[in-house]
Structure 1
Amino acid sequence: MRSIRAAAVGAVTMSLALAASACGGGSSTGGGSDDSPKTLTYWASNQGASIAVDKKVLQPELDKFEKQTGVKVKLEVVPWSDLLNRILTATTSGQGPDVLNIGNTWSASLQATGALLPWNAENFAKIGGKDRFVDSALGSTGASDKDPAAVPLYSMAYALYYNKKMFAEAGISKPPTTWDELVADGRKLSKDGKWGLGAEGSNPSENIHHAFVFARQHGAEFFTADGKADFTNDGVVTAVKQYVDLMAKDKIIAPGNAEYAQNQSVSDFAKGKNAMLLWQSAAANLKSQGLSEDDYGIAPVPVQSGTPGTGDQINSMVAGINLAVFKNTHNTDGATKFVKFMTSDAEQKILNTAYTSIPPVKTAQEDPAFNSPANAVLKDTLAKSAAALPQVADESQFETAVGTAIKELFATAAAGRPVSADTVKSALQKAQQQMPAK
């Protein structure tokens, strides 16, 4: 999922029992526009600072594909606020694009609809093989016991962005590595109308991403081994409380952030209102808002103790965008060729450079273009300390239910009311009751 997307889309209940989540049709020609083998319809997610920017990035590449193959690609860039709703509509109506972007956390939920082309060994062979892709990216392509529902396109990870000038003025010489250090630094930085850390309390998507990381750091999971929702176990309650307490108890997040959504915390960081930001692959977003890379540093997201790593030292979800093909396309051959083109080394370098994301293709990721200090942090995180969100069929409902529960907890904190463990557990119990029965 992309850091500059819109906030969570509203819940949508479909006959397939899918709900719209925060990650994130237009074509009325059910796959294979006009049933022509020389035409494809492509829904791209909004990755750039605007839809116009995306068209400027993508159209030259699509023209290049047409020149190479003779297949014309009709592009529509779909805002994140609309994307999942439109995909869900397309899965039930059969009227959608040939190829589309999906937020990688949606993979298992959309896989469960049966509408997407499975990437079995035969299909992977057509695009150069499954082993071309890094393991962390493949981990967010669907349920582990099934063929992937999509192919990784762009990879991202969360990092801690910090304002160098504000740190220096507060006498802080290095970024925090643990949450205790972050809170201590945040208190020094929260003064004169400025705050230590920004958040988007009204953005269920951001809420669930951070809650997932805190839960993993407490050794907890939101689902049992057999896929049942388990939102009220002690580890999850402790994790969610620790996240909300950054506002409620530690007071390093402005109460007004409880109402923030869609990039507002990024904007505040760019304007120097907040000294720290937890965000996924934020360089392009910050640049579009006029912030020079010299003005901020980037470091791994803090952990409970020690340094980021596997197990309880997870510090990011595996963020990113996957490329999927609708099973009912009338142009499977053209769609497969397009996926091969978009995941080729050459295109991976071009597209991920444009979006300041990390290529999920191993050989492209090794290119010197992705060896900047910022990319080094993101690549290291993806390789060593990132984990995929639960790859379960009910994942999208999980994002919506828990993300919204945390939104309500932030509202409680902003109003000055206490947020106790019981308060958190009650909110999570309500979220769990919204999940499909098992």
Structure 2
Amino acid sequence: MRRIRAAVTGVAVLSLALTATACGGGTTDGSGGSASGPRTLTYWASNQGPSVEADKKVLQPELDRFEKETGIKVRLEVVPWSELLNRILTAATSGQGPDVLNIGNTWSASLQASGALLPWDEKNFDAIGGKDRFVESALGSTGAQGQDPAAVPLYSMAYALYYNKKMFADAGISAPPATWDELTAAGRRLAKDGHSALGVEGANPAENIHHVFVLAKQHGADFFTPEGKADFTNDGAVAAVKQYVDLMAAHKIVAPGNAEYAQNQSLSDFAKNRTAMVLWQTPAQTFAAQGMKPDEWGVAPAPVPSGTPGQGTRINSMVAGINLAVFKNTGNREGALKFVKFMTSDAEQKTLNQAYGSVPPVKTAQADPAFAGPALAVIRDTLAKSAAALPQVPEESQFETVVGTAVKELFADAAAGRPVTTESVRAKLDKAQQQMPRK
């Protein structure tokens, strides 16, 4: 998902068979227009930039261009991450929602299982230029295997290690760490005066999930069996969670106050020279918005045990990003497809991904020199070689909530000085697993 996001709480059970009636502001003649009024679409955009208002400034000129080209007006609402999933669920059950919407790509399988989203079969993909236009890694986070995707990739992202060049130089560290051992060693030299060497969003369940999922991969494990059954207490999953929380509990390179961070406070600390490193998704725009100059920070691949990212146990990021979905029962399907085609066109992909500091999931747009700079080169390389999609199972969003909350509670224990042991981690994960639907 997106780098700028708040904790997603109170997630409803998505495995229920939700149904949707006619959604959005579209017309009912199937053509995207009517004799009685202008053709319109409603679009819920996720908050990608430093603020909702910043997103409107980015998006509205593009929506105006779409209206000029097609005659279809788009009513825009930028929805904060803290509200987005519950807004989508409410729309799915009530039928009162948008025609087109952004979804975090990790939600794709869960929302697919609701039955509310338009399946992207061959015909629908053909209407927007074909499925083969999109990068394979991005398509891997659009829904369950063996089913038509529930959404289309819009923005692609991956985690990397961002570091403060001056703080590294002052500590006598000549290069960013490539392994976790190097990171903790550097962190001990950087942590001082109660500040973090590494910033985390310990109270944000979704951020917690992203990191422990990657660490589980590095331990040769996962949180689900190949059959899709929750398996939170296997040794590799337990080791992954403990390793992450131990950055605070054992290594002391994350300040205790980070246990309460949930809405990008670690990024603010980094931009204000209070934290030396963050693991984040393409945050260059956020750094700039807080006054940090491009030459003040560097970027490197996120650490792996061997120091060389790749497949298997050398995975160092989840496949992050935003997908574009259409409500199945929109009264303006033709207009919605035209809008998706517009948003995934080469020109719009270049414009929007440059504005947000992300990478286009459309192959021809991604090849543009605008995305060849050092920072985005790390992201592109990670997505191509060492990123994995979160489990594409119907219960994925529940997994984010219950395991992410378990990690949040463990960070709270660490901040309070309570022991974080293998046994206490396993107990928290067992409690989380008991909250998952029985299969």
Aligned to 2:231: 230
How far, CA to CA, are the matches of 1:203 and 1:347 in structure 2? 31
Aligned ranges 1:119-138 → 2 under 5 Å: 119-138=120-139
- In structure 2, what residue type is equivalent to 1:114? G
Aligned to 1:7: 7
**Contact 2:13–2:398, Cα closer than 8 Å, also in 1:** no
How far, CA to CA, are the matches of 2:14 and 2:147 in structure 1? 23
**What SS class does the counterpart of residue 33 from structure 1 fall into?**
coil
Aligned to 1:205: 206
CA spacing shift, 1:17–1:239, aligned 2, 3 Å: farther
Range with greater deviation from structure 2 (267-276 or 1-10): 1-10
**What SS class does the counterpart of residue 161 from structure 2 fall into?**
strand
Aligned to 2:406: 405
Aligned to 1:349: 350
How far, CA to CA, are the matches of 1:350 and 1:9 in structure 2? 32
**Does 2:89 match 1:88?**
yes
**Contact 2:213–2:318, Cα closer than 8 Å, also in 1:** yes
- In structure 2, what residue type is equivalent to 1:9? T
**What SS class does the counterpart of residue 378 from structure 1 fall into?**
helix
- In structure 2, what residue type is equivalent to 1:283? A
**Does 2:418 match 1:417?**
yes
How far, CA to CA, are the matches of 1:74 and 1:103 in structure 2? 20
**Contact 2:256–2:414, Cα closer than 8 Å, also in 1:** yes
How far, CA to CA, are the matches of 1:9 and 1:2 in structure 2? 16
**Contact 1:103–1:321, Cα closer than 8 Å, also in 2:** yes
Specify every segment of 5 or more residues in structure 2 that has no aligned partner in the other structure, as ranges. Answer: 34-38
Structure 1 consecutive aligned stretches of length 4 or more whose deviation exceeds 6 Å: none
**Does 2:110 match 1:115?**
no
How far, CA to CA, are the matches of 1:64 and 1:116 in structure 2? 26
Aligned to 1:314: 315
Aligned ranges 1:59-98 → 2 under 5 Å: 59-98=60-99
Q: Deviations over 1:224-264 (max 9, x none)?
A: 11110000000000111000000000000001111111000
How far, CA to CA, are the matches of 1:257 and 1:73 in structure 2? 40
CA spacing shift, 1:13–1:226, aligned 2, 3 Å: closer
**Contact 1:345–1:364, Cα closer than 8 Å, also in 2:** yes
How far, CA to CA, are the matches of 1:274 and 1:223 in structure 2? 34
Deviation at 1:34?
A: 5.2
- In structure 2, what residue type is equivalent to 1:33? G
How far, CA to CA, are the matches of 1:10 and 1:204 in structure 2? 11
Aligned to 2:360: 359
Q: Deviations over 1:253-301 (max 9, x none)?
A: 0011111110000001111111110111110111111111100100000
**Contact 1:107–1:391, Cα closer than 8 Å, also in 2:** yes
TM-score normalised by L of structure 2: 0.96
**Contact 2:406–2:428, Cα closer than 8 Å, also in 1:** yes
Aligned to 1:21: none
- In structure 2, what residue type is equivalent to 1:278? L
- In structure 1, what residue type is equivalent to 2:374? P
**What SS class does the counterpart of residue 112 from structure 1 fall into?**
helix
CA-based RMSD: 1.5
- In structure 2, what residue type is equivalent to 1:215? A
- In structure 2, what residue type is equivalent to 1:172? I
**Contact 2:155–2:360, Cα closer than 8 Å, also in 1:** yes
Deviation at 1:9?
A: 3.0
Aligned to 2:250: 249
Deviation at 1:32?
A: 4.0
TM-score normalised by L of structure 1: 0.96
**What SS class does the counterpart of residue 137 from structure 1 fall into?**
helix
- In structure 2, what residue type is equivalent to 1:3? R
Aligned to 1:430: 431
Aligned ranges 1:229-308 → 2 under 5 Å: 229-308=230-309
Q: Deviations over 1:118-156 (max 9, x none)?
A: 001111011111010001100000001100000000001
Aligned to 2:36: none
CA spacing shift, 1:15–1:317, aligned 2, 3 Å: closer
Specify every segment of 5 or more residues in structure 1 that has no aligned partner in the other structure, as ranges. Answer: 19-24
**What SS class does the counterpart of residue 228 from structure 1 fall into?**
coil
Deviation at 1:190?
A: 0.7
Q: Deviations over 1:397-422 (max 9, x none)?
A: 00000000000000111111111100
- In structure 1, what residue type is equivalent to 2:185? A
Aligned to 2:151: 150
Aligned to 1:31: 24
How far, CA to CA, are the matches of 2:325 and 2:40 in structure 1? 17
How far, CA to CA, are the matches of 2:227 and 2:93 in structure 1? 27
Aligned to 2:106: 105
- In structure 2, what residue type is equivalent to 1:401? V
- In structure 2, what residue type is equivalent to 1:89? T
How far, CA to CA, are the matches of 2:194 and 2:90 in structure 1? 45
Aligned to 2:167: 166
Deviation at 1:81?
A: 1.0
**Contact 2:144–2:393, Cα closer than 8 Å, also in 1:** yes
**What SS class does the counterpart of residue 114 from structure 2 fall into?**
coil
Aligned ranges 1:45-56 → 2 under 5 Å: 45-56=46-57
How far, CA to CA, are the matches of 1:369 and 1:10 in structure 2? 39
**What SS class does the counterpart of residue 280 from structure 2 fall into?**
strand
Aligned to 2:184: 183
Range with greater deviation from structure 2 (189-198 or 262-271): 189-198
Aligned to 1:340: 341
How far, CA to CA, are the matches of 1:213 and 1:15 in structure 2? 25
**Contact 1:29–1:97, Cα closer than 8 Å, also in 2:** no
How far, CA to CA, are the matches of 2:238 and 2:332 in structure 1? 48
Q: Deviations over 1:356-415 (max 9, x none)?
A: 010000000000111110000000001100000000000000000000000000011111
How far, CA to CA, are the matches of 2:248 and 2:8 in structure 1? 21
